[in-house]
Amino acid sequence: SQQGEEDPQALSIQEGENATMNCSYKTSINNLQWYRQNSGRGLVHLILIRSNEREKHSGRLRVTLDTSKKSSSLLITASRAADTASYFCATDTAGANNLFFGTGTRLTVIP
Amino acid sequence: NAGVMQNPRHLVRRRGQEARLRCSPMKGHSHVYWYRQLPEEGLKFMVYLQKENIIDESGMPKERFSAEFPKEGPSILRIQQVVRGDSAAYFCASSSFPSISETQYFGPGTRLLVL
């Protein structure tokens, strides 16, 4: 199965701290995306990183991709209470029509 | 530009009834994907449709589940004779290009509860 795994499963930090979440996957990918899901809500796209990219930034988000280790990390700097949500990585592979989602990291930012 | 719309947002059905979930993609998008999310889990792909065509239904259970995306109107995910195990959140996503390497935009989901 291509399904990714996020690590840790749950993370609790104080507001202002940085949060790092990791994602590992099993087969070669075209791209990797990170999504956020607030409790009981839909998914919000955060960032897409292509397989030939190693790092990407968007505001307080920094994503890295290491294709040799088949892993990615999402760093949220200067976290806020509003960042509390579940974060999922999703990969796509050549020839596939769908995204493969990981199991998610549940982030809690304590005010 | 309205985002992806799904309705109903919540649906309660008794075992054996039918559930119909609707998804209207973003304006200009002709590619629709349905995913299912069980509690505390990630999303699992079910089916990928373009207008009037099912492109990939490899993630869809062989029985009781069907999907369509007619020329006019929303995409429909239909679950016949629902069972308790069908209780989940069902999300649709749309994109403007056939390649999933472009961003998929997700709807708010339909939460199905089977009693």
* Predicted confidence (pLDDT) at residue A1 exceeds the cutoff of 90: no
Instruction: Report the distance separating Cα B77 and Cα B66, nearest Å.
Output: 6
> Considering only CA atoms, which of B89, B114, B94, B105 is closest in space to residue B9?
B89
What is the residue-averaged pLDDT of chain A?
A: 91
Q: Does A33 touch chain B (CB under 8 A)?
A: yes
Q: Which of B4, B41, B45 shows the shortest C-beta gap to A99?
A: B45
- Residues in chain B with CB shorter than 8 Å from the CB of A101 are 35, 42-44
- Residues in chain A with CB shorter than 8 Å from the CB of B91 are 42-43
Q: Does A103 touch chain B (CB under 8 A)?
A: yes
- Residues in chain B with CB shorter than 8 Å from the CB of A35 are 106
Helices (H) and strands (E) in chain B, counts: 0, 11
- The residue among B23, B26, B45, B50 with the most chain A CBs within 10 A of its CB, best to mutate, is B45
Q: Does A3 touch chain B (CB under 8 A)?
A: yes
C-alpha distance from B71 to closest chain A C-alpha (Å): 21
- The residue among A43, A48, A103 with the most chain B CBs within 10 A of its CB, best to mutate, is A43
| A65-97: pLDDT as tens digits | 999 999 999 999 999 999 999 999 999 887 777
Instruction: Report the distance separating Cα B50 and Cα B48, nearest Å.
Output: 7
Instruction: Report the distance separating Cα A19 and Cα A107, nearest Å.
Output: 8
* Interchain CB distance below 8 Å, A101 and B42: yes
* Predicted confidence (pLDDT) at residue B98 exceeds the cutoff of 70: no
> Considering only CA atoms, which of A62, A40, A49 is closest in space to residue B39?
A40
Q: State which residue of chain A sits closest to B50, comparing Cα positions.
A: A97
Phi-psi region of A97 (alpha: psi -120 to 50; beta: other; left: phi over 0): alpha
Q: Which of A30, A99, A102 shows the shortest C-beta gap to B104?
A: A99
Instruction: Return the number of CB contacts < 8 Å for A and B.
Output: 61
Q: Tell me the mean pLDDT in the region A49-76.
A: 96
| Res. B99 pLDDT band, cuts 50 70 90 | low
| Res. B97 pLDDT band, cuts 50 70 90 | confident
Instruction: Report the distance separating Cα A107 and Cα B14, nearest Å.
Output: 34
- The residue among A2, A51, A97 with the most chain B CBs within 10 A of its CB, best to mutate, is A97
| B18-74: pLDDT as tens digits | 999 999 999 989 899 999 998 878 899 999 999 889 999 999 999 999 999 999 999
